[in-house]
Amino acid sequence: MPRALWLIVIGMAVNVTGGSFLWPLNTIYLHGELGKSLTLAGFVLMLNSAASIIGNLYGGYLFDKIGGYRSVMLGIIITLASLIGLTFWHGWPHYPIFLTIIGFGSGLVNPAMYAFAGSVWKEGGRRAFNAMYVAANIGVAIGSALAGYVAHISFNLIFIANTSLYIVFFFIAFFGYRNLADNPIGPTVIQQQTPKKYEKNKKKLTALLILSIGYALCWLAYVQWQTTIATYTQELKITLEQYSLLWTVNGALIVLAQPLMSKFIQKFAKTLKIQIIIGLCIFIIAFSVASVSTVFLGFVTGMVIMTIGEMLVWPAIPTIADMLAPKGREGFYQGIVNSAATVGRMIGPILGGFLVDMYGMSVLFIILLSLFIVAIFTTIIYDRGLKATEKKSSSLSI
């Protein structure tokens, strides 16, 4: 990897580590420390996610308009200011206000970081986005693992740790990203398009939106491991320590199995579409295993299988977004896929909880498996309009 990408990857890891101190404990803090109902806590988290969706779309737009350095720094400054405020004022109603602003600020940062990664190592292809994916998961593993220990000492230290890491991220970005080549182009590129080019770019956007529908559905299902399936394991007398170990397995496998995964992709997944479809089929197997599991070992098996699927699907989506993006629209396209993931994470807990309360876990698993089948369908068809346009252009030239 080039030095520029290393700087972005390190920044991503520090950014996510800081955030991972806070997000696993939001509900616990709102309910246990502030004495708010679980319904109100869920509403606060929805506000955070909704602000993040807006931030994702606007952050992608800003990347294209003013460049990666300025858009990342703007997001960091907004987030850091909110984190400093949260460190001093984390009662009610300050907590939900700052948490919503944090959602917007971090939303600005994420698509810009991914677009940055694609722009500084174009020839790297999927490898650039895979590096970002691994960095994010290292951050999640470290941050969430330490959060419990820090919170046990004092919740105030959680806010201090998050703010401190974001200050580190600020300096990495301030000194490291200033001279990276991101070439902001702005809306003039879109305005100068010929009708033929405009039509092709319209097809590309449609393709990304279709792919993003499947991506959101995958996240809607995936987040059940953190919500409904987590509760289900408690009913089966699986301890919290054992459940936490599932995510340790997830993070360790993502980091350690990269060489094997690279060889697998080279041999069996010649295209990104094939890579995603294989990953989705593996997701189906993983959730099928979880649906019949009644002991800890069964859920470990399901988690290992699901992690393999995740390693195939998650890095491939932003890679396709980068490939589809017309010049000058890379940030906006990354904003769309980041928003799709956030929509899935926002709706997933509410829908999953409703289905379990009304119909039970068996029905939930059936619906989740159906969602992956729909995602396979959207993956198969997402680029058909593009292929038809290219075929038409070829026949006209002949």
pLDDT at residue 318, as a whole number = 93
Rounded mean pLDDT, 96-101: 92
First to last CA, the chain: 41
Query: Does 188 have pLDDT greater than 70?
Result: no
Query: Does 228 have pLDDT greater than 90?
Result: no
pLDDT band at 390 (very low <50, low <70, confident <90, very high): low
Query: Does 272 have pLDDT greater than 70?
Result: yes
Rounded mean pLDDT, 311-325: 94
pLDDT at residue 173, as a whole number = 92
Instruction: Write out 17-85 in H/E/C secondary structure.
Output: HHHHHHHHHHHHHHHHHCCCCHHHHHHHHHHHHHHHHHHHHHHHHHHHHHCHHHHHHHHHHHHHHHHHH
Query: Does 158 have pLDDT greater than 80?
Result: yes
Using CA atoms, how far apart are residues 338 and 304, in angstroms rounded to an integer? 24
Query: Does 223 have pLDDT greater than 80?
Result: yes
DSSP state, 326?
Answer: P
pTM of the model as a whole: 0.85
Query: Does 38 have pLDDT greater than 80?
Result: no
Query: Does 391 have pLDDT greater than 60?
Result: no
Rounded mean pLDDT, 53-82: 91
Rounded mean pLDDT, 108-124: 86
Rounded mean pLDDT, 100-115: 91
pLDDT at residue 51, as a whole number = 93
Question: What percent of the chain clears pLDDT 90, i.e. is strictly above it?
Answer: 46
pLDDT at residue 189, as a whole number = 47
Task: Bin 186: left if φ > 0, else alpha if -120 < ψ < 50, else beta.
Answer: left
Sign, Cα dihedral of 376, 378, 381, 386? negative
